[in-house]
Amino acid sequence: MKGYSIITGSITYALKGRDILRAKGFRATVGRVTPSKASSGCGYAIFLDGDIRAALSILQKAGIKILEIV
């Protein structure tokens, strides 16, 4: 399974998004990303292994600001 980094607008969005995804059965964690990996954002991302399309749909419906997917 491919891993994804979902770059968010703030640490608050990252933590909230992680919790929402975990409640839906995803394995999600939050951590720092290196500047070379993310061109924008707060420096934190949601790390996810799984169905990125389903996860993005869930996050967007919850109002989580997503800046970039790496």
In a domain, 36, yes or no: yes
Q: Is residue 70 part of a domain?
A: no
Give me the number of domains the chain comprises. 1
What is the domain range of residue 19? 3-63
User: In CATH, what number is assigned to the domain containing residue 44?
Assistant: 3.30.70
In a domain, 68, yes or no: no
Q: What is the H or E stretch that residue 17 is in? A: helix 11-23
Per-residue exposure over 32-42, b if at least 16 CB sit within 10 Å of its own CB, e if not? ebeeeebeebb
Over its length of 70 residues, how does the chain's per-residue pLDDT go in tens digits?
578 999 998 999 999 999 999 999 999 999 998 665 555 556 889 999 989 999 999 999 999 999 999 8
